[in-house]
Amino acid sequence: MNNDDTLKQRIDALRLVLKEHNYRYYTLDAPVISDAEYDRLLRQLEALETELGEPVPSDSPTRSVGSAPSQTFATREHGEPLLSLANAFDPEEIEAFVRRIREGTGEAKPDFIIEPKIDGLAVNLRYESGHLTIAATRGDGKVGEDVTDNIRTIADIPWHLNCVDTAPPEVLEVRGEVYMSKAAFTELNRRQDAEGLPAFANPRNAAAGSLRQLDAKVTARRGLNFFAYGVGLGGRELASSQSALLARLHDFGFAVQETSMASDVDGLLARYQTLQEKRIDMPYEIDGVVYKLDNFALQHRMGAVARSPRWAIAYKFPAEEVITTVKQIIWQVGRTGVITPVAEMQPVAVGGVIVSRATLHNIDELQRKQVYAGARVIVRRAGDVIPEIVRAVDIDEKAQRPSPPQNCPVCGASVFRVEGEVAIRCSGGLSCPAQLKERLSHFVSRGAMDIEGMGDKLITKLVDEGLLTDIADLYEFDYESLHDWPGMGEKKIANLQKAIEQSYQRPLARFLHALGIRHVGTATAAGLASHFGSLDALMQASAEELVNIPDVGPEVAASICSFFAEPHNRDVIARLLAAGVQPSAPSSGPGNHPLAGKTVVLTGSFKSIQRRTAQEQLRALGARPTGSVSKNTDLVIAGEKAGSKLAKARELGIEVANEQQLLAWLNPDYP
Ligand code: IVH
């Protein structure tokens, strides 16, 4: 075999590989390699094709754009092909570009327009006599998929061109980029997660997936946007430069981007720098800048080569996606007890920072992305800040997959997974150091044990010094020893001791709420307290018994059971009781309180209590605070400047109370 034969074989192989990636990217919206990796392969192919020196077939990935349209959508031929852009990766290539333009046009200082390069997908919009008739994706550049119905859901795209003084062109193709804003992307992934659906890797894939929906209603909910940046058929006559064209498109009713002008290499590069810095604060993702010769006559003089015009070039920002190897998967315990898998990786530079760890959020994501120790993974910085693993590449099916831990890696308590939820959690709530600060600050908070003076700062310090290791320590700690702490005067210490003493006999409902059992908020705690009457009875209760209580479903029952079954928690509770904490039986608690079962509306402002706090406390007493006054309202409590709700209560003849009465009701010793 001679050298040319090997070269040809390598070229064929590389073309096949790139075609597969085109198909995955454009048709399936699910790329398996990073953009940077793709560009690298494409350049390699280009180099090999040049080395071989034979004519390059028109279907080579170096000559064609995108991938054949899928079979699901009707296909549409574009009036004029959609071209792509050549890429530059360093300043020298920009210099060469400017040189080519100078030579090709004979202009010493031609004007360039600089546009941000939007990370979305190109579409072609056909207007006939000013009305939108067809919208198609780029497809292979000549033929795309008909997505007209879906495109009509995008608010930035006019259905009719706004032509005030002139007749609309008979036919006009408008080109631009459909994209998803960072905010819409975050919201979409939040919803995907809530519905147990896989998250989209980036806004571009999300935009592509959202546009290529069979049901336009789904597209409409995704909040897509559009920027126009060019024209095809029928566009020649509209303007004589790109800057004038953008102004025209804007007048027609399209959204267009902010642009700037430069006429030399320094100017072009300076704008690149500025946009790279602005990038993170922009509401949508951009992946580079596009330089275009502004003047259309000069553009024409430059012409085009196979897949891209010679009058424009894209200068991409440095790769935000890189490939590295996972060293191991560790499990991290968050403040709320959620245990998340974290991949420790071979350190790698992404977008200017060294990344060596990335969270996988939950076990499902870990499995979906096929991440395991030894895997090669694509890492990107989502929204430019948090490193994220996009997926594994070159997946080794035989490699051992990580399995979730049976015990909390921090405290050793057993873990549990709530049915229907992806997260696994540590059940050692009261004693797990990872959750300690959060637990303590909840325990001492107002609606809970109400230990005034034990603020977050003090908690943090006590935990960091190793003086508080669980909740029971609050009652075993020698507060006198804080004497020489800065800011801890005698008075403060005395007040703190008093607050601790006062908390010994909080109502059972408050104590249960203070324990921070998952799913047990103030209302459920109140219900449990009034049903069981004592902590002991509740701790003995079975899940079957618990689900008979109003407000307690199987999920809440399971959470309560596993909380009290956990030996660490039982131990902490035993120590709390031994130290003198005596949750008081709900003699005047929910059920007996005059407001129990009443629908109450708070309106206006109160001097000595925040409305939200009052609502929470009312709920703990068994009342039902609601937001609007209706004939079902039992009582309206009106503060200062109460307006329409108070008027409505009077109109409906509903009982009205004032702040003083409210405070009396909320007093634990009431009546
Ligand atoms: S002009 C003949 N302008 O990037 C010129 N394209 O990598 C065709 N893109 O196919 C495109 N922002 O999908 C142009 N301001 C911009 C752009 C832009 C994003 C996309 C477009 C294009 C691809 C090329």
**Cα–ligand 1 centroid distance for 237 (angstroms):** 21
Can you give the pLDDT at residue 489? 87
Q: How far is CA 379 from the centre of its chain?
A: 17
Mutate to test the pocket of ligand 1, among 62, 65, 112, 117 (most ligand atoms within 8 A of CB): 117
Pick the CATH number of 429-578 from 2.60.40.10, 3.40.190.290, 3.40.309.10, 1.10.150.20: 1.10.150.20
Residue 293 Cβ inside 6 Å of ligand 1? The answer reads: no
Residues 6+ apart with CB under 8 A from 237: 169
**Cα–ligand 1 centroid distance for 177 (angstroms):** 7
CATH 3.40.190.10 applies to domain 320-417: no
Q: How far apart are CA 351 and CA 72, in angstroms?
A: 37
Give the homologous superfamily in CATH for domain 599-666. Answer: BRCT domain (3.40.50.10190)
Among the listed residues 117, 292, 316, 369, the single catalytic one is 117
Kindly report, residue by residue over 220-275, the tens digit of the pLDDT: 889 999 999 999 999 988 999 999 999 999 999 999 999 999 999 999 999 999 99
Higher pLDDT, 384 or 31: 31
The candidate with the shortest Cα–Cα distance to 631, out of 614, 611, 655, 603, is 655
In this prediction, residue 588 has a pLDDT band, given cuts at 50, 70 and 90, of very low
**Cα–ligand 1 centroid distance for 578 (angstroms):** 71
Give residue limits of the domains in the chain: 3-52, 75-316, 320-417, 429-578, 599-666
551's torsion region: left (phi>0), alpha (psi -120 to 50) or beta? left
The pTM score is 0.50
pLDDT at 148 over 80: yes
**Cα–ligand 1 centroid distance for 340 (angstroms):** 39
Mutate to test the pocket of ligand 1, among 242, 246, 290, 291 (most ligand atoms within 8 A of CB): 290
Tell me the backbone φ, ψ of residue 115, rounded to 5 degrees.
-120, 145
Equal fold, 3-52 vs 320-417: no
Mean pLDDT of the chain: 87
> Whose structure tokens read 């899940």?
543
Asked if 586 and 560 touch (Cβ cutoff 8 Å), the reply is no
CATH architecture designation of domain 75-316: 2-Layer Sandwich (3.30)
Kindly report, residue by residue over 504-518, the tens digit of the pLDDT: 989 999 999 999 888
Ligand 1 atom at minimal distance to the Cα of residue 122: 13
Pairing mode, strands 624-626 and 599-603:
parallel
Higher pLDDT, 497 or 665: 497
Give the homologous superfamily in CATH for domain 3-52. Answer: Helix hairpin bin (1.10.287.610)
Q: How many CB atoms lie within 10 A of CB 136?
A: 26
User: Mean pLDDT, to the nearest integer, of 601-619?
Assistant: 81
pLDDT at 180 over 90: yes
CB burial readout 250-271, b (16+ within 10 A) else e: eebebbbbebbebeebebbbeb
Ligand 1 atom at minimal distance to the Cα of residue 308: 2
User: Mean pLDDT, to the nearest integer, of 390-412?
Assistant: 90
Amino acid letter, residue 274? T
Q: Is 648 a catalytic residue?
A: no
